């Protein structure tokens, strides 16, 4: 069984997730640590739970979701894994972060890119990849089918959806990827988004104002 720990980090209030199972293996998803106390909070949790991080995943490569990639690499020698279509988004960050007054420690680039469909594994657990472009060009969600939850990134939020006015964003594409690739999941599948509170597929199918 996969356990999940949420942290909310950085000036964008981004949700960072640590998934772990009974083997102690862990996956760190969208590490958004920006301030030293946020880095310490993550390390403290991993030490206290005696976890061994085996995977570093990014749903997509906007700044707020990759702030902590370098820190994870320095501490656990993990390079990030994401879809190749996000590399251009990652590489653009040094060009805009300073203008926003933000310091950014350069993320390592992947050795392994993730496909649109497939699975990633850590410990005794597997996550299925779901391709949900639109907020960014090659955004992935991570579905823990047996445990009934989805790490949703910035695709689907509680009563909202990801913004599509950033480079590579496409509103119609986001709507159709949510309908075709997320709304086929079970109603009771819990969505843990990149910002804000968790929700379920069934609730959003019924109440999300962007998808009626």
The residues of the shown chain that bind Zn ion, judged by CB under 5 A, are 62, 64, 154, 194
| Shortest reach from residue 61's CB to Zn ion, in Å | 8
The residue among 11 and 202 lying less far from Zn ion, judged by its C-beta, is: 11
Buried b (16+ CB within 10 A) or exposed e, 118-147: eebebbebbbebbbbbbbbbbbbbbbbeeb
The residue among 21 and 64 lying less far from Zn ion, judged by its C-beta, is: 64
The residue among 25 and 174 lying less far from Zn ion, judged by its C-beta, is: 174
Give residue for tokens 């653009």: 92
Which residues, 6+ apart, have CB-to-CB distance to 44 below 8 Å? Answer: none
Q: Looking at beta carbons, which residue is closest to Zn ion?
A: 62
The residue among 110 and 194 lying less far from Zn ion, judged by its C-beta, is: 194
| Shortest reach from residue 155's CB to Zn ion, in Å | 9
Element (H, E) at 191: strand 190-193
| Shortest reach from residue 124's CB to Zn ion, in Å | 30
Are 191 and 207 within 8 A, CB to CB? no
| Shortest reach from residue 64's CB to Zn ion, in Å | 4
Are 167 and 138 within 8 A, CB to CB? no
């Amino acid at each position: 069984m996969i356990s999940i720990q949420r942290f909310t980090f950085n000036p964008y209030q981004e949700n960072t997730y640590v998934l772990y199972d009974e083997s102690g293996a862990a996956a760190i998803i969208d590490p958004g640590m920006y301030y030293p106390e946020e880095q310490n909070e993550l390390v403290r949790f991993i030490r206290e739970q005696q976890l061994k991080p085996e995977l570093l995943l990014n749903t997509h490569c906007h700044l707020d979701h990759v702030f902590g990639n370098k820190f994870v690499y320095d501490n656990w020698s993990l390079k990030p894994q994401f879809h190749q279509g996000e590399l251009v988004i990652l590489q653009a960050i040094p060009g805009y972060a300073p203008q926003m007054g933000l310091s950014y420690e350069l993320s390592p680039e992947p050795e392994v890119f993730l496909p649109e469909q497939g699975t990633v594994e850590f410990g005794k657990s597997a996550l299925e990849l779901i391709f949900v472009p639109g907020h960014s060009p090659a955004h992935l969600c991570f579905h823990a089918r047996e445990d009934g939850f989805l790490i949703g990134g910035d695709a689907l939020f509680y009563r909202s959806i990801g913004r599509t006015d950033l480079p590579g964003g496409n509103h119609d594409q986001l709507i159709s990827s949510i309908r075709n690739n997320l709304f086929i999941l079970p109603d009771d599948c819990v969505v843990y988004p990149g910002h804000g509170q968790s929700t379920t597929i069934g609730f959003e199918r019924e109440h999300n104002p962007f998808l009626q």
